[in-house]
Structure formats: C-alpha cells, structure tokens
C-alpha cells in the first residue's frame, strides 16, 4: 500500500531563534551638515543682541507706541539719525553726550520697525503685545542677515574694506531712494522696493557697529 507524503512547511526552530542575536547596524545616524559660525556670523549676532536689547527696553518703557507711525515717519527718523552721524563725522565734535554708535543702533531698530509696519500695517493705537513685537523683530532682523549672507557670498565681504563714513553715505542714499519711492506711491520701474532698501540699511548699520566694536 502506497502512502502519500504531504510536504509540511518547515517549522521554525525555536531553539535556534532563542540563540539568535539581533543584528546591529554599523551605520551611524546622519547628522545635518551644519557649518560652524564664521567670524562675521559671530560679530553680526553680537551687534544684533545690542540692538535688540535696546528695542526690548524701550518696548517695556513705552510699549509699542511706534505702531502708530507711518513708514514715511520711520524713514524721517532714520534720516535724522544718519544725518547726525554724517555731521559728526565731518565736524569731528559733538555738543550732545551721545556718540554715533547709539545712532547706528537706532537706524537698525527703526528700519526693523518699518518692516514690521509694512507687514502688519499701521495702527491707530499701540496694539502689539511685547512678545509679538519681539517675534516680528527677530523675523525681520534675521531676514536682513540672510540677505547679508547672500551678498557676502557674491562680494566676498568687501564691506570690511569700507570706511564707516561710506556706510553712512550709503544709508543716506537708501533713505533718499525710499523717500522717492514713497513720493511715487510705492511704484518703481526697475528698482528694488522699500523693503530691500530698509534691509540694506540694517546691514550697513550693523557693519558700522561691527567696525566700531572690533576694528577701531
């Protein structure tokens, strides 16, 4: 009598499974390719810290009173500060016990506030909470830094060979450009808009602060 053999599937060897060790991978987890901060990154950050500290202290003293200012008023405030710097550079003396460093800080902060006003629109009241103002400040100051990083890549930090007086003149030139754009109701034919000019002024003012802090 012939018996039919049924092929049974291979049964797992429980003993061998117990003796098996889990395989471990020799591959290390990927880490992001982060570049170490450059000298300019560190110096720029220190300048930003100084500017933001003044912004935060004035925010506590006055609240966001600047929220009622139109961007044209911000432009005029920056003009006053840049013009005073230029006068001091030419005359070499000051009758007010404030040097040019505080004026460059003021230019940075007014330019950032102008960018916030462009984004949020002007208000009839100081309607912005402190934490929101600081968050927006950081957003726009680091947007300006990103622009600086891109230009540094193309121009290889040519600003380090510039005089502070040249940076003052360039800030004033940017102000006159903005004034003209404002008079043209924001319309330009081939030129950058006001936002790019405000960011350029932030960067020139920070460059001047770096030179005042580290190179003089």
The number of beta carbons lying within 10 Å of the beta carbon of residue 16 is 8
In angstroms, the first-to-last Cα distance of the chain is: 109
Structure tokens, 185: 């109701």
Residue 49 has pLDDT above 50, yes or no: yes
CA dist., res. 59 & res. 138, Å (int): 14
CA dist., res. 138 & res. 36, Å (int): 21
Write the pLDDT tens digit of every residue in 148-202: 998 888 888 899 999 999 999 999 999 999 999 988 877 776 667 899 999 999 9
* pLDDT cut 90: percent of the chain above it: 65
Mean pLDDT computed over every residue of the chain = 85
CA dist., res. 197 & res. 81, Å (int): 16
Write the pLDDT tens digit of every residue in 77-112: 999 999 999 999 998 876 666 789 999 999 999 999
Q: Please, are residues 68 and 124 in contact by the beta-carbon 8 Å criterion?
A: yes
CA dist., res. 174 & res. 167, Å (int): 10
Structure tokens, 70: 């139109």
């Amino acid at each position: 009598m012939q018996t039919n053999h049924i092929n049974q599937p291979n049964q797992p060897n429980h003993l061998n499974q117990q003796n098996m060790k889990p395989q471990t991978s020799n591959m290390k987890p990927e880490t992001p390719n982060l570049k170490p901060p450059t000298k300019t990154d560190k110096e720029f950050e220190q300048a930003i810290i100084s500017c933001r500290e003044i912004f935060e202290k004035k925010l506590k003293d006055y609240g966001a009173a600047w929220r009622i200012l139109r961007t044209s008023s911000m432009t005029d405030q920056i003009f006053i500060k840049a013009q005073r710097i230029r006068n001091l550079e030419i005359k070499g003396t000051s009758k007010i016990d404030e040097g040019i460093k505080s004026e460059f800080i003021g230019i940075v902060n007014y330019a950032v506030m102008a960018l916030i006003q462009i984004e949020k629109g002007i208000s009839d009241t100081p309607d912005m909470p402190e934490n929101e103002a600081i968050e927006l400040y950081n957003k726009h100051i680091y947007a300006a830094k990103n622009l600086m990083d891109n230009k540094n890549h193309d121009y290889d930090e040519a600003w380090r060979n510039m005089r502070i007086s040249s940076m003052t003149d360039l800030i004033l030139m940017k102000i006159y450009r903005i004034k003209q754009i404002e008079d043209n109701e924001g319309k330009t034919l081939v030129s950058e808009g006001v936002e790019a000019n405000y960011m350029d002024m932030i960067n020139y003012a920070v460059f001047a602060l770096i030179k005042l802090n580290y190179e003089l």
